[in-house]
Amino acid sequence: MPKKISIKTKLVQPDFSSHGNFKSLADSVERASTVVFDSVEKLRQRDWRDKNQYTYGLLGTPTSRRLERQLAAIDGVEHALLLPSGLSAISTVMLALLKSGDSVLLPSNIYAPALEVAKYMQNQYGVEFALYDPMNIDSVVITAKTKLIWVETPGSVTMEVSDLNALAKIAYQHGALVAIDATWAAGIALPVFELGADISIQALTKYQSGGSDVMMGCITTANDKIYNQLLETVVTLGVGVSPEDCRLILRSLPHYALRYHAQDKAARQIATWLTQHPAVDQVLHPAIAGSPGHHVWSRDFTAAASLFSVVFKANISQSKIDQCVESLALFHLGFSWGGAVSLVVPFTRNQMHATYSYEGLLVRFYIGLEDVDDLMLDIKQAFSMLQ
Ligand SMILES: *Cc1c(COP(=O)(O)O)cnc(C)c1O
């Protein structure tokens, strides 16, 4: 195969390396608790760190290894690890790379459960954390204790796009590592490792699954030492993923870039149209001028997820907005995203991060695979009650 092939091709080409001489284009599900060894010598010499060996069901089956190879290839790195959720990928990175007395820098708009992980690490293990403003590089204050800078770009509710490369340069100068929650970019829209990330985590629960039916996370890295630290933590925690769930993701992967780009186009059309609505103060979509960090998005990203937020005019009350989203017929109320169905979540002021600076209230939209004109009509009828 040519060395530099596009993601589109990588996603589609079959991986026969664990199929023996049965070369089906379909992915099979290999399950195991026990795997057996050919000899006492092989049993004693087993090495769970070796990706070419199978030693126990929890530590990998051909199915989970195929998915790991695919995800590593998409990110253009050597290593991928699967976890039972995106959140467990986040907590695994923090547990593996931080110890008592260390400090981690987190963006103030971080995915809220990740902040809870940091608080837990502080209370239980004395790992400190400090917040920085993702839109202001001068707010990044590194001390001798800082071992990790966490990046999430864009923020998953207020959509600020931070400068990954600038953050990575600061981290590098101080010997700290950079981990990015790249769920929004999904391995498609941002070359995270080229821009200096050491570790990337993604919730495969979102676009890679595409079915609203699997929870899974992954961690990718090019660094052997970091990979071994992460692997050791995963093995210590005794967590693993079901081969059936891996198979669901493997089945969706060949089409996920297509879905991502089609939904990107639809979401940009809707987001752009919404900027003109009289009830709307601002549309927070990285590809729209005026959205925080839009210039960084234009420079670094090649596409956008179909997840964006709308800030309403300050005089529109929570109860009006709640009524409005309830009257949407095609958008359903629910967390997570990445599936076929469009979703909406109204956030209250109390649910927003401490540095939320908009006067009006925010609603997050996820654009699914429905017809764009139908979605726009639905929004139009629901928003009419806001005027
Ligand atoms: C959904 C999400 C996660 C968590 O993933 P789960 O699989 O739901 O645990 C983490 N980060 C971001 C940005 C997300 O959107």
* 103, 128 Cβ separation under 8 angstroms: yes
pLDDT at 2 (0 to 100): 58
Same domain (yes/no): 41, 185: yes
pLDDT at 249 (0 to 100): 97
Rounded CA-CA distance 77/5 in Å is: 14
- What angle do helix axes 372-383 and 243-274 make, rounded to 10 degrees? 60
* pLDDT tens digits for range 164-221: 999 999 999 999 999 999 999 999 999 999 999 999 999 999 999 999 999 999 999 9
For residue 336 and ligand 1, the question of a CB distance below 6 A is answered with yes
DSSP letter string over 319-342?
HHHHHHHHT-SSSEE-S---SSS-
* 207, 338 Cβ separation under 8 angstroms: yes
Closest C-alpha to 205, from 40, 366, 24, 10: 366
pLDDT > 70: what percent of the chain? 99
pLDDT at 97 (0 to 100): 98
> Has residue 2 been placed in a domain?
no
* 206, 183 Cβ separation under 8 angstroms: yes
For residue 111 and ligand 1, the question of a CB distance below 6 A is answered with yes
Same domain (yes/no): 44, 163: yes
For residue 107 and ligand 1, the question of a CB distance below 6 A is answered with no
Tell me which of 18 and 179 has the higher pLDDT: 179
Stretch 273-283: mean pLDDT: 97
Name residues whose C-beta falls within 8 Å of residue 174's C-beta, 6 or more positions apart in sequence. Answer: 142, 146
pLDDT at 115 (0 to 100): 97
Stretch 333-339: mean pLDDT: 96
Which of 32-41, 166-175, 261-270, 354-363 is the least confident region?
354-363
For residue 203 and ligand 1, the question of a CB distance below 6 A is answered with yes
Rounded CA-CA distance 184/109 in Å is: 14
pLDDT at 190 (0 to 100): 98
Q: Which atom of ligand 1 is nearest to the CA of 205?
A: 7
For residue 86 and ligand 1, the question of a CB distance below 6 A is answered with yes
The residue from 251, 283, 310 where one domain ends is: 251
Ligand 1 center–CA 37 separation, angstroms: 38
pLDDT at 297 (0 to 100): 98
For ligand 1, pick from 88, 94, 110, 111 the residue to mutate: most ligand atoms within 8 Å of CB.
111
The residue from 234, 251, 268 where one domain ends is: 251
* 104, 98 Cβ separation under 8 angstroms: yes
Structural domain that includes position 276: 255-386
DSSP letter string over 152-213?
ESS-TTT-PPP-HHHHHHHHHHTT-EEEEE-TTTTTTS--TTTTT-SEEEEETTTTTT-SS-
Ligand 1 center–CA 87 separation, angstroms: 6
Ligand 1 center–CA 327 separation, angstroms: 27
pLDDT at 80 (0 to 100): 98
Total domains, the chain? 2
pLDDT at 353 (0 to 100): 82
For 111, other C-beta atoms within 10 Å of its C-beta total: 22
Ligand 1 center–CA 203 separation, angstroms: 5
Closest C-alpha to 223, from 186, 198, 241, 244: 198
Same domain (yes/no): 51, 145: yes
Same domain (yes/no): 142, 273: no
Same domain (yes/no): 226, 188: yes
pLDDT at 341 (0 to 100): 98
For residue 154 and ligand 1, the question of a CB distance below 6 A is answered with no
What element of type H or E holds 109?
none
Rounded CA-CA distance 162/380 in Å is: 32
* pLDDT tens digits for range 124-157: 999 999 999 999 999 999 999 999 999 999 999 9
For 338, other C-beta atoms within 10 Å of its C-beta total: 28
Q: How confident is the model at residue 355 (pLDDT cuts 50, 70, 90)?
A: confident
Same domain (yes/no): 147, 272: no
User: What is this structure's pTM?
Assistant: 0.96
**Rg of the chain's alpha carbons, rounded to an integer?**
22
Q: How confident is the model at residue 278 (pLDDT cuts 50, 70, 90)?
A: very high
Same domain (yes/no): 226, 324: no
For 242, other C-beta atoms within 10 Å of its C-beta total: 17
For residue 155 and ligand 1, the question of a CB distance below 6 A is answered with no
Same domain (yes/no): 146, 281: no
For 317, other C-beta atoms within 10 Å of its C-beta total: 12
Same domain (yes/no): 153, 262: no
Q: Which atom of ligand 1 is nearest to the CA of 85?
A: 7
Same domain (yes/no): 74, 195: yes
Q: How confident is the model at residue 351 (pLDDT cuts 50, 70, 90)?
A: confident
pLDDT at 17 (0 to 100): 80
CATH number, domain with residue 185: 3.40.640.10
* Mean pLDDT for the chain overall: 95
Q: How confident is the model at residue 10 (pLDDT cuts 50, 70, 90)?
A: confident
The residue from 222, 251, 280 where one domain ends is: 251
**Both structure tokens of 282:** 């601002």
Rounded CA-CA distance 30/371 in Å is: 38
- Is pLDDT of 1 > 60? no
CATH number, domain with residue 375: 3.90.1150.10
The residue written with tokens 């089906």 in the block is 24
- Is pLDDT of 163 > 90? yes
- Strand order across the 343-347 sheet: 280-284, 307-312, 362-366, 343-347, 332-333
Nearest CA, atom 5, ligand 1: 86
Same domain (yes/no): 189, 309: no
Closest C-alpha to 364, from 340, 341, 343, 338: 343
**Both structure tokens of 167:** 């953050």
* pLDDT tens digits for range 81-127: 999 999 999 999 999 999 999 999 999 999 999 999 999 999 999 99
> Has residue 1 been placed in a domain?
no
Same domain (yes/no): 28, 176: yes
